[in-house]
Amino acid sequence: MTVECMSDDQSPATLYSGDVARLFKVADKDEYKRARREFIRASDIDFRQIADVGLRATMRCLFEEWFAYDRPVDESGTTPFDIIARALFERDDGVCDREYEDFREFSATNFAAWFWIRDASASSHCMTVENMADGRDYEVYAGDFAARCDGARGGSMLVRIARPRGTWRMCGNPSVFMREPSDEDGHRFLSEIIREWDPGFPELVGALFAPHPGMMRRDGTRIGGAAAPSALRPVSVATPYGDDPLPGTGPGADRGPKPRRRRRRRSSADGTGRR
């Protein structure tokens, strides 16, 4: 699949998944807690127990991403992202029709996957990536991240993409970026494991983050490890972030464009709008 990339000044509006999750938590704390238990069970990582503050925050961001985009909260499949986006639009909170349509397209088309990097171009800010779960190729607008990976042939990343306004785009920077393996043997090996395993986002998070040296409880015992197939562990144990992690990677590093807020003029007694 090949799609012409848009320039960055045409970026669609979106919502930061962390904001969505926290707003929904205020409205329905019980549902938020149920979702958190599901994520912890599927990933085999109870991020609340992680001693390292930064890693604990990273894992919480990954949970919030999954909760906002993927976790249905009713039988019709409505997600927290859908509910918060609709609420902002209906209460006239500075969200125009075009921005709300962007939200709907993000919600309808987004998915997270472990992608193999086929190509990256600094000039176009695009990357060609393959979803290793099904072998489909996507040309994705990736902004500065594509420039940082300019000329890359190989390596992989866990990232969420969506197709607002007809163009595939990354929903923020990758959660995980791995430079190795980078050859076709490594690509074939990972693809076979993923297709046989068929993991969801929490399982991928558990597999890729459990080997991290900071994945320790406060009492010094390790957290996680059961989510990954045994054949995958030697790969992910090496370096979940890659041997040369790029600056700005990780969940929350790029919140994406925010909806523009319309300034409202206050009325005055004489009707001129002056205060």
Domain boundaries, the chain: 8-238
Full-model pTM: 0.82
pLDDT in tens, 203-215: 999 988 887 888 8
Q: How high does pLDDT run on average in the chain?
A: 83
How confident is the model at residue 152, as a pLDDT?
A: 85
Q: What is the pLDDT of residue 228?
A: 67
Left if phi > 0, otherwise alpha if psi is -120 to 50, otherwise beta: which for 165? left
Contact 1, 137 (CB under 8 A): yes
Q: Please write the tens of the pLDDT for every residue from 127-146.
A: 999 999 999 999 999 999 99
Residue 220's pLDDT band (cuts 50, 70, 90) = confident
Residue 230, pLDDT score: 67
Judge whether residue 69 has pLDDT over 50.
yes
Q: What number is the average pLDDT over the span 61-88?
A: 96
Q: Provide mean pLDDT across the span 34-45.
A: 96
What separation, in Å, do the N-terminal and C-terminal C-alpha atoms of the chain show?
55
pLDDT-based confidence at residue 222 (cuts at 50, 70, 90) = confident
Residues 209, 181, 157: CA angle, nearest 5 degrees = 50
pLDDT above 60 for 1: no
**In the structure, what pLDDT confidence band is assigned to residue 274 with cuts at 50, 70 and 90?**
very low
For residue 168, is pLDDT > 60? yes
pLDDT at 9: 52
- Split at pLDDT 50, 70, 90, the class of 227 is low
Rounded CA-CA distance 128/136 in Å is: 10
Query: Which is more confidently placed, 141 or 256?
Result: 141
Q: What is the DSSP string of 67-135?
A: HHHT---STT---HHHHHHHHHHHTTSS--HHHHHHHHHHHHH-EEEEEEEEEEETTTTEEEEEETTT-
φ, ψ of residue 157 in degrees (nearest 5): -155, 150
